Structure 1
Amino acid sequence: MSPTLIIACGALAREIQALLEANDWKAVRVSCLPADLHNRPERIPAAVRARLEAAGQAGQRVFVAYADCGTGGELDRVLAEYGAERLPGAHCYDVFAGERVMAALAEQEPGTFYLTDFLVHHFDRLILRELGIERHPELAGLYFGHYRRVVYLAQRDEPALHAAAEHAAKRLGLAFEYRHTGYGDLETSLVRFVGASSPATTGSGG
């Protein structure tokens, strides 16, 4: 049986590893691309293509753990060349919460800023420091003035993360809402792709 490779966004690494362990998927390798590519989504298709080319030479079955992620359909064009599939939806919020839920949240309050476990963990670096808010708090109003609330889409029900997400909302001066999503379509997609054909044997690598 061909080995299975998951080419993944680094922002999903923790969740994918948890699913590998929970399902005892041992004949699976994970190759993560830098999470910071989300700041330059135009670079995602080329980065995925390079990993797909390497995987093709190794004769591996490949799943791409990205949504469209701001590539404007370019990622799908790359995947079509290799007959590969990706996670459903436009972004990781769709993956975790589902497209219908995200549409309902956006209709209820268009000015919503979303957090996931990854973004809560890295809020200080990705939001406060990289946007300059840590040094210049007045910039929070410039960047987030059109937002009204933060919705934390939680993969794990952990009080410490919940508290950190609520604190992040206060730092931005926004209302806070908590929703536990679990792993959503990340789990169902991997169960379908990996679980049906993977022997119980694991390894993951970057």
Structure 2
Amino acid sequence: MNENEAPLPDPATLTESGLAARGEGRILLIACGALAHEILALKRLNGWDHMDLHCLPAKLHLNPDRITPEVEKAVTERRADYSRVFVVYADCGTGGRLQARCADLGVEMVAGPHCYAFFEGVERFAAHDDEITAFYLTDFLVRQFDAFVWRPMGLDRHPELRDMIFGNYTKLVYQAQTRDPALEAKARDCAARLGLDYEYRFTGYGDLATVLAREATAS
């Protein structure tokens, strides 16, 4: 069974361990584990068998200062096996350090501040005037809400922290990559647990599809 036929990896595995590339293609995508389902879906849809996916654990986002050195390590260890490496991270809270290091390494990465922006489209996202008071979830983060939000913020042990942490937010925005009623129901529940209004936006794959299509056809 090749990668295109393999079942999608479990979100908990992508959170903790990531996903190792199979080493069969000529382009290596080094990505956040939170993007694995979307990238694999785009690979299947477009027949991009020449692209391999190597995902770092999604939990690195809980400590963004770890993202840059882990990406550098992955690029250094794997680049000799591929004709090109592309980093499927945006800035992701690294304060420009990831972009600077990728430039030093001679590899390109996704433009934008974070995945919420490139899923919606960076320009469209920037045009919203209420984003500073919005808390975002993607398909992956809805699935992993407890692992990424509820437990790391201590809300499972100290629910009284909710209003302190989320008091300046007014709504939870669910950016849906797929139309899944079960995920939407769970996202609504996440909003209720945080005491926030709920907004649904179907984004699909947004700029991620455009960027990967460009990389897939680059010589």
Q: Normalized against structure 2, the TM-score is what?
A: 0.84
Deviates more, 1:177-186 or 1:58-67: 58-67
CA distance in 2, matches of 1:134, 1:55: 39
Q: Which one of 112, 116, 131 corresponds to residue 134 of structure 2? A: 112
Q: Which one of 62, 67, 84 corresponds to residue 39 of structure 1? A: 62
CA distance in 2, matches of 1:26, 1:109: 37
Task: Report how many residues are paired.
Answer: 195
SS class of match (1:110): helix
What's 2:144 paired with? 122
Shift of 1:131: 1.4
Alignment of 1:7-22 (within 5 A): 7-22=30-45
| Deviation digits for residues 86-135 of structure 1 (CA, Å, limit 9, x no counterpart) | 11200011110122322233x13531101111110001222112212123
**Which letter does structure 2 place at the counterpart of 1:160?**
A
What's 1:61 paired with? 84
Q: Normalized against structure 1, the TM-score is what?
A: 0.89
What's 2:122 paired with? 99
CA distance in 2, matches of 1:31, 1:23: 18
Gaps of 5+ in 2: 1-24
Q: Which one of 140, 143, 146 corresponds to residue 165 of structure 2? A: 143
Give the CA RMSD over aligned residues. Answer: 1.5
Residues 135 and 172, structure 2, Cα contact 8 Å, conserved in 1: yes
Gaps of 5+ in 1: 198-206
Q: Which has the higher contact order (CA 8 A, sep 6+)?
A: 1
Paired-residue identity, %: 50
CA distance in 2, matches of 1:109, 1:43: 26
Shift of 1:56: 2.9
SS class of match (1:114): strand
CA distance in 2, matches of 1:132, 1:82: 37
1:80 aligns with 2:76: no
Shift of 1:36: 0.7
CA distance in 1, matches of 2:127, 2:160: 31
CA distance in 2, matches of 1:129, 1:109: 24
Deviates more, 1:159-168 or 1:109-118: 109-118
SS class of match (1:187): helix
